[in-house]
């Protein structure tokens, strides 16, 4: 995005310079060969229009290139303020370049359960309890993501959401590869709902190191 903004600023400056050159040429050149000053200005106007058209086409090519490059954006979302910032950033990109946003939450399969609950339970009961916790978290998270998806779609952005269970980093990287994601935007840190640890910081680092597509870290 910064490169496009810089190019646009450069193009505006170029237009201003062309205007100065045009005025200077009007004074310096021999107007006699155009028959009249009006015809000379008409000639300069044609040059100005042609130049403006070239600049507009260049800006259009830049926007088209960006739209193609970042067609699918992945947002790992855990409800933290950092993931919300990441989603807002993706929204801005999507509205400009018609990107599809994938909002994904990964429920860590290795859920921590309070020790006093686990104490004395057999392995079978432990597995059942873990399964119930995952199912409960899955239902809650799906409701949150669908509500967030509805809000985004009301703003004219195409959004899809998914909840997965497994290792966070591996699941996100696999999702990125399977869905041919062009850009991953994630928060620098986040607080998981189950483990209560600052987990997304390490996830962000690992994804930025191992991802095959560009990764944007939002602070």
Residues 53-111 have pLDDT tens digits of: 766 666 666 555 555 678 999 999 988 888 999 999 999 999 888 899 999 999 886 65
More confident call, 66 vs 49: 49
Q: pLDDT tens digits, residue range 153-196?
A: 999 999 999 999 988 999 999 999 999 999 999 887 654 443 33
Q: What is the pLDDT of residue 73?
A: 97
Q: What is the pLDDT of residue 116?
A: 47
Structure tokens at 189: 């840190």
Question: What is the rounded average pLDDT of the residues 19-31?
Answer: 56
pTM over 0.75, yes/no: no
Show me where the domains of the chain are located.
2-68, 70-218
Please state which architecture CATH assigns to domain 70-218: 3-Layer(aba) Sandwich (3.40)
Return the axis-axis angle of helices 37-69 and 2-28, rounded to nearest 10°.
170
Structure tokens at 194: 């189950």
């Amino acid at each position: 995005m910064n490169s496009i903004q810089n190019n646009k600023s450069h193009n505006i400056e170029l237009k201003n310079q062309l205007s100065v050159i045009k005025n200077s040429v009007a004074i310096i050149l021999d107007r006699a060969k155009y028959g009249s000053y009006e015809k000379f200005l008409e000639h300069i106007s044609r040059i100005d229009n042609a130049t403006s058209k070239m600049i507009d086409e260049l800006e259009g090519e830049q926007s088209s290139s960006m739209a193609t490059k970042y067609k699918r954006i992945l947002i790992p979302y855990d409800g933290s303020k950092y993931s919300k910032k990441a989603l807002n950033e993706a929204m801005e990109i999507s509205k400009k370049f018609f990107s599809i946003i994938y909002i994904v939450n990964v429920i860590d399969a290795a859920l921590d359960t309070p020790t006093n609950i686990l104490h004395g339970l057999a392995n079978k009961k432990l597995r059942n309890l873990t399964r119930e916790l995952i199912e409960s978290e899955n239902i809650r998270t799906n409701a949150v993501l669908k509500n967030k998806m509805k809000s985004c779609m009301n703003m004219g952005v195409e959004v899809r959401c998914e909840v997965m269970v497994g290792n966070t980093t591996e699941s996100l990287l696999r999702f990125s590869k399977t869905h041919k994601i062009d850009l991953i935007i994630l928060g620098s840190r986040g607080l998981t709902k189950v483990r209560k640890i600052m987990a997304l910081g390490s996830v962000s680092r690992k994804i930025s190191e191992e991802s095959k597509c560009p990764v944007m870290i939002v602070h």
